[in-house]
Amino acid sequence: MEANRLFHILDNRMTKEAALKELVEVAKLAKRCLGFTGRERPTMKEVAAVLEDLRSSHGHPSLPQNSLAGDIAEPSSRSLHNANVQESFSLVASFGIETGSSREDGN
């Protein structure tokens, strides 16, 4: 992002389907999530709040709260969610990012 290369690394479908401001906000959030220490990273609650604000401000339909957990989601939604999770793990692995759930600040 610092070298203005955000749009070089994004999938073309994303740049066509999403508002540029929305993509920049998500990229900023993702960058915060990559903070070196737990204190530098947002909590999951903060991440969820930012994403919900983005979704509601850009006219995306609200999802029932439990649908993200897959409890009441349609099968096609679950398949899409699973594909996105798998894609995310592949991306994390390809960049050699360690995935740990512990936080240094105890949250």
Cα within 13 Å of Cα(16), Cβ side? 3
5 neighbors 15 (Cβ within 8 angstroms): no
- Nearest of 81, 62, 61 to residue 71 by alpha carbon: 81
Each residue's pLDDT expressed in tens, for the chain with a length of 107 residues: 566 778 788 888 888 888 888 888 999 999 999 999 999 999 999 999 999 998 888 665 555 444 444 443 444 555 555 555 555 555 555 555 554 544 454 55
pTM: 0.50
Asked if 23 and 14 count as a contact pair (C-beta separation under 8 A), the reply is yes
Which of 51, 60, 62, 61 shows the shortest CA–CA distance to 25? 51
